[in-house]
Structure 1
Amino acid sequence: MTILYIEWNSFGNEDMKEAFQTEGHTLICFPFSNKEGRHDETVESSIMGVLRKKAPDIVFSFNYFPLISNVCKKADIPYISWVYDSPYVMLYSYTVINPCNTIYVFDKELCLEFARSGIHTVQYLPMAANTERLDRLCPVPAQIPILYDISFVGSLYTEKHNFFERMTTLGGYTKGYLDALMSMQMHIQGYNFIQDSLSPIMEDLYQALPMDPNTDGVETREYLYAQYVINRKITGLERAELLRAITRHYAMDLFTHDRSYSMPNLTNHGPVDNVIQMPLVFKQSRINLNISLRSIKSGIPQRAFDIMGSGGFLLSNYQADFLDDFIPGKDFDYYESKEDLLAKIDYYLSHEDERQAIAGNGHDKIAAAHTYRHRVREMLDRFQ
């Protein structure tokens, strides 16, 4: 098949293009800015020109763009998108129901929400890893030195200008309500009640930080504040709390954009690139933590696939979708509370053979069923 590949500065571009081509498909790459996602007559005209001239069978992009969907609808050509961001507000555009769309999301519960609303253009597809590329980084696994006992790669959402910190005029009642709400949510894994709990303080939130839904979408203010402001803040608080708990007992290594972040017993290495440095960290760590963004309902984050695909041992918070494809204690493991996390860290640091076996099983399961090539076949089977 010939595929018009919408190429923007997304994660996974090279792995996805390689997978399409290895599976025998021809790619036509179209440079795109994700800032043009909703409407731009010049870009729309340019895409339409390529569709008419090259006549591809399918258009593909990482993440979903209403602009591209509308062009594909006019041209009567299938548009496949694979959304890896969470939250992702463009999923609530009216264009989602365009018949040209097949929109893949990595979160099964999110997919079911759309299905319950009668929207069937949104389908479930987990993320992936390119194990062949990751294996080439260290051809002989036994020769990889272990440099870190416990590692975390990710954001702590400590940037000074994040949305939550801009709400400086909140009233005392709203501050107390939010503090209690966030504290309760931090103690619950597998269910998020933030969005359903904001009505009593919605007007105060809006006065402190005005955010309005897009005119072409059905997202609510509650969705915007819950997913883009409060869940992100909870994630930052949760990650910091878990890091503090761990470093009271163990040395830990952090890889994050905020180089100033510090606490006793924590080594902050700054950021790492996703292609080479990050996989090496996963390979060189005894335990790799995944602490999911709270806006993810049940899905397996891309970071978890990166860790297992690199041959690293994954210890994650509980996400229901893991259990569809991976076995806890065999392919990875998960924790259900801060106390459980500390107990499992202690266990796996003292059971090296078991830890290595689990890391190997996780890698092999990714290689057998969860690479980008597997996902390309799943995406395109219905069109061939």
Structure 2
Amino acid sequence: MAAEMDYTAELVQGTDGSTDVRILRDGRAQHMGGRRGRENELRRVVEIPVEGALPVFLGAGLGAGLADLLDRTSGPVAVIDAEEPIGALTGVPGKWRDDPRIFWIAEDDPGVALSRLTRWQLRHGGLPFAPIRDPFYARLRPGLYRELADRLEMSLKFDFWNRARYPKFRSKVPRVMLLTSSYFLMGELEAACTRLGYATSLVQLPSQEVGSQEFVESILAEILSFRPDFVLTINHLGVDKEGILTALLARMELPLASWFVDNPHLILYVYENLASDWVTLFTWDVDNIESLKAQGFSRVHYLPLATDPHRFAHAPNTAPARDVSFVGNSMLYKVRAKLRHYDFPPVLLADLKELGRAFMLSGALSVARFLEEERPMYVEAFRALPDVDARLAFETLITWQATLLYRLERVRELLPFKPLLVGDPGWHEILPPGGWTYHRELNYYADLPKFYPATRINFNCTSQQMKGAVNQRVFDVPVCGGFLLTDHRRQMEALFEPGREIVCYQEPGEISGLVRHYLSHDGERARIVQAARSRILAEHTYDLRLKSLVRTMRSIYG
């Protein structure tokens, strides 16, 4: 942002041919360099290291010091100079501003300038700053140039980076720094850490602070104080999209574990500086492993969902309040919202329902791959969408349309049993009236642990964003004593034994027969629930998932 000037400036030519700038402010004149201006600029850069530090000019001056330093180094060099009237007279910005070796900052807000400097610093290995003070600029605007100089000299004096490099996983008790967020799963991980006796530090990272010098210093201070073995987040939440945090952690050689429990490709596309030897990804869907590796991530591991048996406490003697229910979104409003927010070309929308149905029936794991392999006539229009965001929005639209059709076909099979549907009001628009009842969405923590055991058959049909993985309900329902009838997924057999621990349908036509059978066989339902619950407690709790994640991180970075 351009500074609001409270002075006027004029060029002064000395009798010896020297050039200077004189400013007039509040009736008083000040000279930028005086007769020895160029000599003083050269003197200030003599001791500046050309290796192992990042020179930062706090004011460009007459450009003599900048030119001398660039004669001795190939860069990089930063210049902070918000004085447009002075620059117009000296010509220094016009000469040097576009030089690829120079990072020029014309901000008059010290916080913004520090944020931009920090990002530049991390792009160049996190080296300490070497500020070059100019007394004229410090007097001209102390709140900008003097404050910045003081902050940058602290960076040179205290090498936080080396202090932050320390051996990891030296104790049997892991030390975990959790990047907290409002996402529901973070609460489960915090509770699991407590039960397992792990040392934890909870760090909230407001997005407006990420990348600022204040943020860097605060996170470094917390790391130096707590000395975690690794940082843990969910779905990259708390990680800034510009890659500042990942670069910072790599500089400190502090591992980051990010557990994706939603489609990572609809999340990671907005991030920069993704891949690093210090980043390890975990995904709930084994189908994502190869595609994540193709994005440059060398360390990707399978870690399926689980449940918290303390939150979803067992309620074995709950009296049934209903025969059949389905807790889930119709997806109708989500589809409409996507259509409102994006101006997709008519050619892509002409057969929206057909595309959704075809993707539903396809084995393709992504909409982009589905179009290439099965609907090539749409590929040109898809690729012509204006940007990555628009293309991913269209992929999401098709995925949601496919989920709408998928759920509608299967929920219709429940209508003879007068089911209770819990979700959005869109069900009223896509199902015929009568024969079923509706309830608004329930709270995940407060309501569902009591709701599931009070239903004889909890129905499940999975979102089409996951073609092979199982969703959260597969674990939550049985662990609190509820019976689940779910669609079969390719990854199911690795988690449960179908028929003994879980009941699955392959096609919609199987649903009514299975519902009718299990409504009339209470003993079978009870045996399957008990078998599923025993398997979950033995293998599929968040405590166990966290133990597995820690073992993996220790094996890589210990």
Are residues 1:312 and 2:485 paired? no
In structure 2, the CA distance between the partners of 1:197 and 1:322, relative to structure 1 (3 Å rule), is: closer
Gaps of 5+ in 1: 215-220
User: Residue 62 of structure 1 aligns with which residue?
Assistant: 234
Residue pairs, 1:36-185, within 5 angstroms: 40-41=211-212, 44-45=215-216, 46-65=218-237, 66-67=239-240, 68-86=245-263, 88-92=265-269, 93=271, 95-115=273-293, 119-135=297-313, 138=315, 141=316, 143-159=317-333, 161-164=336-339, 166=341, 170-171=345-346, 173-185=347-359
- Asked if the contact 1:259/1:270 (under 8 Å) is kept, the reply is no
> Aligned to 1:103, what secondary structure does the other structure show?
strand
Task: Map Cα deviations across residues 305-345 of structure 1 (whole Å, 9 max, x no partner).
Answer: 22222222122122111111201111112111110122222
The counterpart of 1:250, out of the listed 417, 435, 444, is 417
Deviations 1:253-282 (A, max 9, x none): 111143873632221111111113112111
1:20 is matched with 193
Q: 1:261 aligns with which of 423, 428, 433?
A: 428
Residue deviations 1:117-166 (CA, integer Å, cap 9, x gap)? 66332211011111133226x3xx1x201112111112112227521455
Aligned equivalent of 2:394, options 225, 234, 237: 225
Match of 2:465 in 1: 295
Using the TM superposition, name which of 275-284 and 67-76 deviates more.
Answer: 67-76
Decide whether aligned partners of structure 1 residues 298 and 124 sit closer, same or farther in structure 2, where only a CA change above 3 A counts: same
Q: 1:298 to 1:79 in 2, by over 3 A?
A: same
Is there any run of 5+ residues in structure 2 with no aligned partner, and where?
1-173
Residues in 2 aligned to 1:151 and 1:377: alpha-carbon distance in whole angstroms: 34
**Higher RCO structure, 1 or 2 (CA under 8 Å, sep 6+):** 1
Q: CA deviation at 1:54?
A: 2.5
Kindly indicate whether residue 523 of structure 2 is the aligned counterpart of residue 356 of structure 1: no
> Contact 2:403–2:463 at 8 Å: present in 1 too?
yes
1:239 aligns with 2:412: no
Q: SS where residue 322 of structure 1 aligns?
A: coil
2:313 alignment partner, SS class: helix
**TM-score w.r.t. length of structure 2:** 0.60
Does residue 375 of the first structure (1) align with residue 542 of the second (2)? no
- Which residue number in structure 1 is paired with residue 454 of structure 2? 284
3-state SS, counterpart of residue 297 of structure 2? coil
TM-score for both structures, normalised by structure 1: 0.85
Q: Distance in 2 between matches of 1:369 and 1:197?
A: 34
Indicate conservation of the 8 Å contact 1:47/1:71, yes or no. Answer: no
Task: Quote how far apart the aligned CAs of 1:185 are.
Answer: 3.3
Relative to structure 1, is the Cα distance of residues 193 and 14 closer, same or farther in structure 2, using a 3 angstrom cutoff?
closer
Structure 2 counterpart of 1:225, one-letter code: F
Amino acid at match of 1:41: S
Taking only aligned residues, the RMSD between alpha carbons, in angstroms, comes to 2.8
- Identity, % of aligned positions: 22
Cα pair distance change 1:351/1:211, threshold 3 Å: farther
SS at match of 2:411: helix
The total of aligned residue pairs comes to 366
Query: How far apart are the structure 2 equivalents of 1:121 and 1:375?
Result: 17
CA distance in structure 2 between the partners assigned to 1:224 and 1:202 by the alignment: 15
> Structure 1 segments of 4 or more deviating over 4 A?
115-118, 165-170, 190-193, 202-207, 221-224
SS of the residue 2:413 aligns to: helix
- Give yes or no for contact 2:325–2:455 (8 Å, CA) kept in 1: yes
In 1, the alpha carbon distance for the partners of 2:522 and 2:469 equals: 29
Q: Cα deviation per residue 1:157-209 (whole Å; 9 max; x = unaligned)?
A: 222752145567643x5444433232233345x654632243533565688xx
Change in 2 beyond 3 A, CA 1:380/1:48:
same
Matched residue of 1:261: which SS? Answer: helix
CA contact (8 A) 2:330 2:408 kept: yes
